[in-house]
Structure 1
Amino acid sequence: MTEPASPAPSPFCVTLDDVRAAARTIEGRVQKTPMLPAPRLSALTGANVFVKYENMQSTGSFKERGALNRLSQLTPGERRRGVVTMSAGNHAQAVAYHAGLLGIPATIVMPATTPLVKVENTRSYGAAVVLDGETLYEARERCEALRAERDLVLVHPYDDPAVIAGQGTIALEMLAERPDLDMLVIPIGGGGLCAGNAISAKALKPAIRIIGVEAALYPSFVNAIQGLDRPIGGPTLAEGIAVKTVGSLTLPIVRDLVEDILLVDEPAIERGVNCFATLARSMAEGAGAAGLAALLAEPERFKGLKVGLILCGGNIDARLLAAIMVRSLEREERIASFRITTADRPGLLGAIASRLGELGANILEVSHGRLFLDVPAKGVSIDVTVETRGEEHTRQVLEALAADGLAPKRIDRRSV
């Protein structure tokens, strides 16, 4: 009797068995986050959207999965020596948090430009934080030096088989709940999240389609896979996926299993963050909203499909989120600014305020100036910012003021 042939070895550093083993390792130690239908996002994009809320992890991102899986594989000797990593945010917090729970000394190298709140969060979990360099690349150099000097174990943010396998547990949970998903849309930075979930999803359901999403300012995988030389760098809202160098382990996985990689610009990422906040009632950082940004940017590509989104992180500064929401209102013409230049007279400001109230506009801000040289000596310039019901209401308000002889001129904040 002929023995059955053994399965061909995997061409990748991670297999479905590795991901399943990671799931057993982290079970009960990280949140099994909810995956919920998002009807308002579905109506907006034309796809049938389901969101996996990884922003509900204890440290606010998916990074806990890979970090815990890697830390759990350390030998007793390695645990005593401790670990080191470099990160500007989510990976730093995940390693610090779970190393603290496991009693493992952790040193985190962060760029000196890292926001103070992220530094303090990482320290609060018991890790030693070293601030060095202006960029993550420079922090990586210090990380390598510390590893060699102190004989520490590196917990790489994405280019490590155990980390990749840990991140891949997300797709196991998603497909267990929604085996009918047609597609996963996954943010890509260094590639650990996308690679791990491509491995598990394609093994469980070969027909499922995987789309990656990069910030347009950081097209690292697009360059690597398509042989391009697009410029890389710049300030992005999606700093969590702002990676200049792709992983050597993640690249072949993404190249072979990911159907396409979409680039999303900053306005689309902003819109994604705002839509999660206002339509899904959930906080998303820029990287966490990248998948939704892709659906908003190219709705025809996803129309009618059952799409799984990973809201991979929610660590966004509250002031930044507030600014994004206000900017979105301005883009939708629900906040409008205009200038009135006219003869100065007693009661003018009160009359304008009363008129705007009659028109149903809510005054947010008023600037009253008499000393500008482009204003007549007996004149006054009044800048008003109002909240309206939308573009049509804004037009009606301005037309009514013009009919009153006030000649309002729009102030376009986007040009300032």
Structure 2
Amino acid sequence: MMLSMSEFVTLDDIRAAKERISGVAVRTPLYRVERARLQLSKLPEPVFDLYIKAESEQPIGSFKLRGAYNMVSQLSPEARSRGVITYSSGNHAQGVAYAARALGAKAVIVMPSNAPEVKKAATKALGAEIVEVGPASSERRIRAEELVAQFGYAMIPPYDAPEIIAGQGTCGLEIVEQLPDVDLVISPVSGGGLLSGTATAVKLAAEAGLASPTVKVWGAEPELAADARESFYSKTLVEWPAEKTVRTIGDGLRTQSLGRLNFEHILRHVDGIVTVTEEEIFAAMRVILTATKLVAEPSGAVTLAAALFHAHQLPEARKVAVVLSGGNLEPALRERLESEIASTPTV
């Protein structure tokens, strides 16, 4: 179902969200990484200048605070008094919990039983009530809708809402403000909130003369959870079964399908979607740890994996900005990566 023009998020919507979240969400740095520091033993030195948008430096360790606060802050006092609810594998859970606490509202989060413990603990620490269900993203949504019907909570969906898209779009707007001549922006994609928002902001900024008119925006996702890529190239919204998407280490990218609003924005503003392997995700996480002081969770490393390993599939670019969407890395996984780094001989 195609959207009417009035249903698409505008640059003014994103600018309004930027003002709304100011002082709550951080205007995160865009770090330039020297090419030589990205060199891997099996790859030549990159031919582009790489910039990392460090959303791991948000108060909750991920970009999700942008959309969550933008939406919760627009609820009426009466709606906030009933409490808010969402369904999330972790980072959006923390975003809603953080926003609710800042605005004095109760937060209920429906989370999958296989969500990383570090994300469950962080969500509880923000004062949210957690309800656990099975691993399928559809199970989370159904349970949340049942609780809305029972208790009257206000639903804060993880991606499929204009307020969420506009909030996440502030990330893309910041990128073009920080690097107006960026040639290529790569965003992770799962439900599509960040990719749809970022692409909308970047492309509308370009139309307004605030960025290069030839700037491209691409999505990146694990090949084990590639429903977004299939949807994009078939131009039909598809859903993958949970038993397929849960295979990836990128726990934040296991959503089974794009949101309807997100899909339409992606078709309108995104130039392509590339997939990466689990091995490439791990390699990108190691590169980020060794080349910078930043920490990337698996979902946040897919963009660097795309830039490093799939440059032949991407448009030629001099300046590439990748969104490191989150840094909520499980301690055990970080120890594993650091052990691998320590055992790798230097050349």
> Which residue pairs with 1:31 in the alignment?
26
Partner of 1:213: 220
Q: Is the 8 A contact 1:113 1:135 kept in 2?
A: no
Indicate conservation of the 8 Å contact 2:87/2:93, yes or no. yes
One-letter code aligned to 1:139: R
Partner of 1:159: 160
Report 1 or 2 for greater relative contact order, CA contacts < 8 Å, sequence distance ≥ 6: 2
Aligned to 1:22: 17
1:2-53 per-residue CA deviation (whole Å, 9 max, x = no partner) reads xxxxxxx736531111000000101111111111211145664322111111
Q: How do 1:136-215 residues align onto structure 2 when only pairs under 5 Å count?
A: 136-205=137-206, 206-215=213-222
Counterpart of 1:39, as a letter, is E
- SS of the counterpart of 1:287? helix
Q: Is structure 2 residue 311 aligned with structure 1 residue 310? A: no
Within the candidate set 252, 258, 265, 1:246 is matched to 258
* C-alpha distance in 2 between matches for 1:42 and 1:133: 39
Q: Which runs of 5+ in 2 are unaligned?
A: 40-44, 207-212
SS at match of 2:173: helix
Cα distance between partner residues in 1 of 2:245 and 2:307: 23
Equivalent AA in structure 2 for residue 34 of structure 1: P
Whether the 8 Å CA contact 2:137–2:256 is kept in 1: the answer is no
Residue 89 of structure 2 is aligned to residue 114 of structure 1: no
Relative to structure 1, the CA distance from residue 250 to residue 304 in structure 2 (aligned partners, 3 Å threshold; closer, same or farther) is closer
Residue of structure 1 aligned with 2:233, choices 226, 240, 250: 226
Distance in 2 separating the partners of 1:54 and 1:115: 19
User: What is the identity, as a one-letter code, of the residue corresponding to 2:294?
Assistant: S
1:277 paired residue number: 289
SS in 2 for 1:210: strand
Contact 1:49 1:308 in 2 (8 A): yes
Gaps of 5+ in 1: 1-8, 335-387, 391-416
Question: In structure 1, what is the equivalent of residue 298 of structure 2?
Answer: 286
Residue number in structure 2 paired with 1:10 = 5
Cα deviation 1:45-71 (Å, max 9, x = unaligned): 322111111100011000000000000
* 8 Å contact kept, 2:38–2:287: no
> Hey, what's the Cα distance between the residues in 1 that align with 2:179 and 2:115?
38
Q: Is the 8 A contact 1:168 1:199 kept in 2?
A: yes
2:86 and 2:265 mapped to 1: Cα distance? 23
Aligned to 1:211, what secondary structure does the other structure show? Answer: strand
State the partner residue of 1:402: none
- Indicate the SS of the match to 1:289: helix
**Based on CA coordinates, which of the two structures has the bigger radius of gyration?**
1
Q: Which SS does the other structure have where 2:299 is aligned?
A: coil
1:267 aligns with 2:267: no
Which whole-Å CA distance do the structure 1 matches of 2:85 and 2:135 have between them?
Answer: 19
SS of the residue 2:225 aligns to = coil
Structure 1 residues 300-339: aligned runs within 5 Å: 300=312, 301=314, 304-327=317-340, 334=344
- TM-score (ref. length: structure 1): 0.74
Alpha-carbon deviations, 1:292-311, whole Å to 9, x = none? Answer: 00011123446552111111
Q: Which 10-residue stretch deviates more, 189-198 or 296-305? A: 296-305
Give the drift of 1:114.
Answer: 2.3
Aligned to 1:75: 76
Q: 1:389 to 1:77 in 2, by over 3 A?
A: closer
- Structure number with the higher helix fraction is 2
**What SS does structure 2 have at the residue aligned with 1:185?**
strand
Q: Distance in 2 between matches of 1:78 and 1:207?
A: 43
CA distance, structure 2, for counterparts of residue 11 and residue 77 of structure 1:
27
Shift of 1:207: 2.2
Q: Secondary structure at the match of 1:217?
A: helix
Matched, 1:105 2:106: yes
CA apart distance, 1:252: 1.1
Aligned-pair CA distance for 1:130: 1.1
Matched, 1:129 2:145: no
Scaled by the length of structure 2, the TM-score of the pair is: 0.89
Alpha-carbon distance change, 216 to 329 in structure 1, aligned in 2, over 3 angstroms: farther
Q: 1:306 to 1:110 in 2, by over 3 A?
A: same
Q: Is the 8 A contact 1:46 1:299 kept in 2?
A: no
Q: 1:53 to 1:99 in 2, by over 3 A?
A: same
Q: Cα deviations across residues 205-249 of structure 1 (Å, max 9, x unaligned)?
A: 142101111110111112222238888424212111121111000
Instruction: Give the counterpart letter for 1:223 in structure 2.
Output: E
AA matched with 2:215: I
